[in-house]
Amino acid sequence: MTYNAAAIYEVLSLALTHHREGRLEEAEKLYRVVLHANANHPDANYNFAVLAVDLGYVEESLPFFEKAIELHSVSKEYYFGYIDALIRLDKMDRARIVLEEAKWISSKEAVESLQKRIPEQELVPEKGQKLNILELMKTRNSMKNKEPSAKEIERWNTLFSGGNYQEAEKHSRKMTKKYPDSGNAWKLLGAVLMQIVHYQEAFYATKMAIKLLPGDPEAQYNLGVAYQGLGMIPQAEECYHEALKIQPTWYQAYGNLGIIYNEQGKFPKAIEYYRRALAINPQICQVYNNLGSAFNSQGSHVEAREYYYKALEAEPTHGYVFGNILFSLNYDPDLSAEEIYAAYQEYNRRFALPLAKYHKPYTNDQNPHRRLKVGYVSPDFKQHSVRHFLEPLLANHDKSVVEVYAYAEIVKEDEMSQMYKGYCDHWIPTVGMSDEVLAQRIRSDGIDILVELAGHTNNNRLGVFARKPAPVSLSWMGYGYTTGLSAIDYYLTDEISVPEGSEHLFSEEPWKIESPSYAYSPAAGMGEVSLLPFNESGYITFGTLTRAVRVNHRTIRVWAELLKRVPNSKLIINSKDYRDPSMKEILVQRFNEHGIDKDRLEIGYSTPPWNVLRRMDIGVDCFPHNSGTTLFETLYMGVPYVTLADRASVGRLGSGILHGVGRDEWIAHTEEEYIDKLVSLASDIPALASIRAGLREEMIKSPLMDGVGFARKVEKGYKEMFARWCQGQQ
């Protein structure tokens, strides 16, 4: 139903009547009607927030107060309600930040209201003398224009640069209380709040800094960072450009603009802005690192590593940069498995072995038959592709066998996070915890089996695993290859992914369970399998949903030869990396060099990709690093694919999946065999149509989608690993 402005006014008026007369359920329903019709109605947001407070849902009221203030920032009533809710939640520091933001703070009415709302003991100054609100305002006015001393600033710098953000935050808050009219004090508070990812509070603090320092480029830049952290990208971009107008040499703004363009898939533009930053300051580790990642995302692995190594020259202790080097090596089409593994061993020597000094004896009960405490450490307990494999395990764990702990390295929880919480016995947010603090928490929790789920991807906690806080540790799923850490005991895999004779390429001991070493849960809304596209188009359509990082000179040459061998065939390459027209043109040119015209290519990005898969007759896997989740999706939509078995683990992902569904005949071992198998599939249209009609059912009935069976295999492995530790064999 659509409501015009008059109808919305009537509904809101009726809701207010119900609210005033205590009919709260009726009021809630009508407020929701108004918000559904117009989510940007300021009064509806405010009154719904007040109702939430009345019902006892004070925490839940905050976003609605914030929305109301955003929409109508001159309403004293909105601020009163918001501050009252913050005080009820004992968020006194945040309440003060909002007070500073309010333009009407010095009015008599506001002062009287604030005096009722803020507990007197919260207004005790440094010397211990109690002040009421009026006296506090006088004190602030008397201190106007005073700034923190050099000693106070030096203290903040020491805490901040040393990574002691908790103490830096406390020190910043003291300075804003002591010097409420110092833009620099508010700027420092905003900076540390952003470091601990409290972006909403950082936003308020930084806005205060800008009011007090309107021409300060750093304050404008910091506001951009806060906007970026809140996901408000256009506003962030505007702030960075404003900072550069004030000071064109503010290289940090160029660097963050590069990040924005990189996340939008505009890699050439991102590279341009990173280089502008480095032209001003050629010693910035993070910008070199980001520049390397932009090249890596384009599939330019050699150039990527050149900049990663420059980042390490600038900051030799930054292990995450070396992790990016390892990530890039996995995709390189010209290196041997042994050359790549040697780099992992170097990582272990430089960044992990020095942490062995933190290894301590364990106090865990050495009874292998008891219920085990299993901890999963991941930055992906949210909407992420790992969900398709982690959920089947966590959802099917036998809680009489394992007690599940989730150590969640996530800034913002979402619906998927709530789902994971339901599967876990304990949920521990870890953002802001140092590696040492988190390792100690894991020890104090008495974890028996600690599972690493990220490898060398972003926001991993490998520094925790290097400290070995649990008797048994293993790596699984999120990365696809060894971590390089000798402190991690096992790598959970199967005999297809890590064939006999390749165990020496892992720092962990490969623990092989019966293939496959995962179970898949499809996304909702994928829909039914379509009829074979060839029947309508009259030509074979090959396709892949791979990222640009996997597309290299070998895959392009082989795919070009395939298109030549199958007349009139076309190739779809669909990925968010090809949102940018310049990325499409680069790839088209690379195919042109092998004699393939652009009219035989369809390069772009559609999401969700289910209809793209419906237009594919046959899938093509990448090599030497195979695709991952998209191969499961390809099969589930009835599309067979051919894979080339290459290096252990990352080069055998496609093989493991096909073995799990019982289709080993689509696994090739040479490039020639890869092409031949694809040509063979394309040459038998009736057989291809039959495969399409039955492939989803084959998959559903296979071990590939047996979540219960997989959970039992994993639990059996956990018990055997722990029993081995109890017996001192580890």
Hey, what CATH topology would domain 359-513 get?
Rossmann fold (3.40.50)
Q: How confident is the model at residue 138 (pLDDT cuts 50, 70, 90)?
A: very low
Q: How confident is the model at residue 128 (pLDDT cuts 50, 70, 90)?
A: very low
The confidence score (pLDDT) of residue 114 equals 52
Per-residue model confidence as pLDDT tens digits over 501-558: 999 999 999 999 999 999 999 999 999 999 999 999 999 999 999 999 999 999 999 9
pLDDT (average), residues 355-375: 96
CATH code for the part of the protein at 5-105? 1.25.40.10
Q: Is the predicted pLDDT of residue 727 greater than 60, yes or no?
A: yes
The confidence score (pLDDT) of residue 60 equals 85
Do residues 601 and 570 touch, judged by C-beta distance below 8 A?
yes
The confidence score (pLDDT) of residue 180 equals 87
The confidence score (pLDDT) of residue 494 equals 97
Q: Is the predicted pLDDT of residue 110 greater than 70, yes or no?
A: no
Domain ranges in the chain with CATH number 1.25.40.10 = 5-105, 150-339
From residue 106, alpha-carbon distances to 111, 136, 142 in Å are 7, 11, 14
Q: What percent of the chain has pLDDT over 90?
A: 69
When comparing pLDDT for 171 and 200, which is higher?
A: 171
Architecture of domain 150-339: Alpha Horseshoe (1.25)
Q: How confident is the model at residue 116 (pLDDT cuts 50, 70, 90)?
A: low
Do residues 615 and 572 touch, judged by C-beta distance below 8 A?
yes
pLDDT (average), residues 586-607: 96
When comparing pLDDT for 267 and 1, which is higher?
A: 267
Structure tokens at 543: 């396709």
Do residues 134 and 111 touch, judged by C-beta distance below 8 A?
yes
The confidence score (pLDDT) of residue 135 equals 46
Q: What is the mean pLDDT of the chain?
A: 90
**Following DSSP, what letter does each residue of 288-334 receive, concatenated?**
HHHHHHHHHHTT-HHHHHHHHHHHHHH-TT-HHHHHHHHHHHHH-TT
**DSSP letter (8 states) at residue 91:** -
Query: How open is the CA angle 534-538-544, to the nearest 5 degrees?
Result: 45
pTM of the model: 0.77
pLDDT (average), residues 186-196: 90
Q: Return the closest-CA partner of residue 486 out of 504, 507, 503.
A: 507
Chain center to CA of 414: 11
Q: How confident is the model at residue 424 (pLDDT cuts 50, 70, 90)?
A: very high
The confidence score (pLDDT) of residue 328 equals 96
Q: Is the predicted pLDDT of residue 452 greater than 80, yes or no?
A: yes
Domain ranges in the chain with CATH number 3.40.50.2000 = 534-705
The confidence score (pLDDT) of residue 146 equals 78
Per-residue model confidence as pLDDT tens digits over 274-285: 999 999 999 999
Per CATH, domain 534-705 is 2.40.30.10: no
Q: Is the predicted pLDDT of residue 109 greater than 70, yes or no?
A: no
The confidence score (pLDDT) of residue 73 equals 64
Write the single-letter amino acid at 492. Answer: L
- Please tell me the least confidently modeled range out of 52-61, 154-163, 483-492, 551-560: 52-61
